[in-house]
Amino acid sequence: MYRVETDGPVRTLTFGPQYQEMVTYLILDDRRRVDVLDVLWLH
């Protein structure tokens, strides 16, 4: 149960029963690395 927004190197993944949680991350292809920028957890 998740959705990914895939425009550009900064991406957002929403997840959870009602897609209320969100992770924003940066993909650095040249370094083969992913950095987590933000995590939002709502209840």
User: Domains in the chain: how many in total?
Assistant: 1
Domain span at 18: 2-40
d(C-alpha 34, C-alpha 30), whole Å: 11
What pTM was estimated for this model as a whole?
Answer: 0.79
Handedness of CA 13, 16, 19, 23 (dihedral sign): negative
| DSSP assignments along the chain, one per residue | -EEEE-SSSEEEEEESTTS-EEEEEEEEGGGTEEEEEEEE---
Amino acid 7: pLDDT: 75
Amino acid 22: pLDDT: 95
Amino acid 41: pLDDT: 92
**What tens digit of pLDDT does each residue of 8-33 get?**
899 999 999 888 999 999 999 999 99
